Amino acid sequence: MQRIPSGALALTLLALTFTACGPETGTTPEVAPPPPALATAPLFDPDTAYAFVAKQVAFGPRVPGTHAHRACGDWLVATLKGYGATVIEQTGTVTAYNGQPVPLRNIIASWQPEKKDRLLLFAHWDTRPVADHDKERPNDPIDGANDGGSGTAIWLELARHLQAQPTALGIDIFLTDVEDMGEPSGAMGGDDENSTRTWCLGSQYWVKNPHVPNYTARFGILLDMVGSVDARFPREAFSMRYAPQVVNKVWKAAAAVGHGDRFLSETRQYVGIDDHVIVNEGLGIPCIDIIAFDATTNGFPPTWHTHADNLAGIDKESLQAVGATVTQVVWAEK
Ligand code: AHN
Ligand code: ZN
């Protein structure tokens, strides 16, 4: 528990009130204002988060339609129910860019479902069926330890605490499916609108068919590729366009919990499309994406859509930086 004694906080606030409004007006307080208080929040455990990545990878590539995908989905649902969630599974069929029908399984886990004021915490849980950025075995599926595994693992680790330490707002953890079956870059001649629409098929389905009627949330946080070695997170351009106030809140929390070195102040345009764009445009919920930027590729981490996206490429310190940050944000929200 990262506890600030509430008595101490109340005394500080009382002292400030008297300093500002007391009988001796005209004097300025001689002490510097205290640093922003941390909310009482559970302790994010990076070892547990790492074990959740390893567990997902052990099923094999979670390619929609495969046994590994089904088995991992069953485990995700059972685990979330075990943490006290009400789970809704949304199944259907979507069509991939090549015309192939793909079975869909979106997983939405809710805590305090009766509350109107909610937070949407999302990540994709499927893995890409091809390694199209790899020179070797490009037609084989990837492990997706980082791409798919890492964001899901961090939300599972938060979920582990939600029953014993309830949040002020209702929580929805949305594990999106069929995010990563998009058209390989260049296949249709570039990053045009037709090509971007071939990604994020699970979230596209959900915004047209929300799991509850008139679903909304105060804001949303998407995690994508948050477990790579020494991951850095610039302010992502779509997030800044749609939800700059949420970006500011999260980046401030990162600094407050000691991970300001990972959350960079610069804004960068390096994401073509991601689930947060779909939810911002489809439901008008302000959503951001925490997604690694790599200076050597000038884009995503070098393991992106290669066989090197495996458990060996997962950095517990990156999981910790992101996990502790979003834990602070979620439990601070009142
Ligand atoms: C592009 O920007 C083309 N894709 C980002 C969506 C994605 C794929 N995230 C992980 N894999
Ligand atoms: Zn991907």
pLDDT above 90 (res 8): no
Calpha distance 263→158 (Å, rounded): 20
For residue 190, the model assigns a pLDDT of 57
For residue 192, the model assigns a pLDDT of 80
- Alpha carbon 321 to its chain's center: 13
Residues 6+ positions from 260 with CB-CB distance below 8 Å: 251, 254
User: pLDDT tens-digit profile of 84-107?
Assistant: 999 999 999 999 999 999 999 999
Calpha distance 176→280 (Å, rounded): 15
For residue 35, the model assigns a pLDDT of 66
C-alpha pair distances (Å), 221 with each of 91, 213, 216, 262, 280: 23, 21, 13, 17, 11
Banded model confidence at residue 139, pLDDT cuts 50, 70, 90: very high
pLDDT above 70 (res 114): yes
Q: Which domains, ranges and CATH numbers included, belong to the chain?
A: 41-332 (3.40.630.10)
Helix, strand, coil share of the chain (percent; to 5) = 35, 20, 45
Is the Cβ–Cβ distance between 203 and 275 less than 8 Å? yes
Is the Cβ–Cβ distance between 202 and 148 less than 8 Å? no
Calpha distance 62→69 (Å, rounded): 4
pLDDT above 50 (res 20): no
For residue 194, the model assigns a pLDDT of 85
AA identity, residue 246 = V
* Nearest-CA residue for atom 10 of ligand 1: 147
Q: What is the mean pLDDT of the chain?
A: 92
Q: Which atom of ligand 1 is nearest to the CA of 274?
A: 6
Calpha distance 115→234 (Å, rounded): 33
Q: Which atom of ligand 1 is nearest to the CA of 147?
A: 10
Banded model confidence at residue 76, pLDDT cuts 50, 70, 90: very high
| Backbone φ and ψ of 121, nearest 5° | -115, 115
Ligand nearest to the CA of 305: 2
AA identity, residue 334 = K
Ligand nearest to the CA of 142: 2
CA of 145 to the centre of ligand 2 (A): 11
Tokens of 160: 């582990």
Q: What is the CA radius of gyration of the chain?
A: 21
User: pLDDT tens-digit profile of 44-67?
Assistant: 999 999 999 999 999 999 999 999
CA of 96 to the centre of ligand 1 (A): 15
Query: Ligand 1: which of 147, 185, 199, 225 to mutate, judged by most atoms within 8 Å of the beta carbon?
Result: 199
Least confident of 4-8, 74-78, 131-135, 301-305: 4-8
DSSP single-letter state for residue 145: I
CA of 304 to the centre of ligand 1 (A): 9
pLDDT above 50 (res 13): no
Residues flanking ligand 1, CB < 6 Å? 147, 180, 199, 224, 271-274
CA of 103 to the centre of ligand 1 (A): 20
Q: Of 231 and 4, which is predicted with more confidence?
A: 231
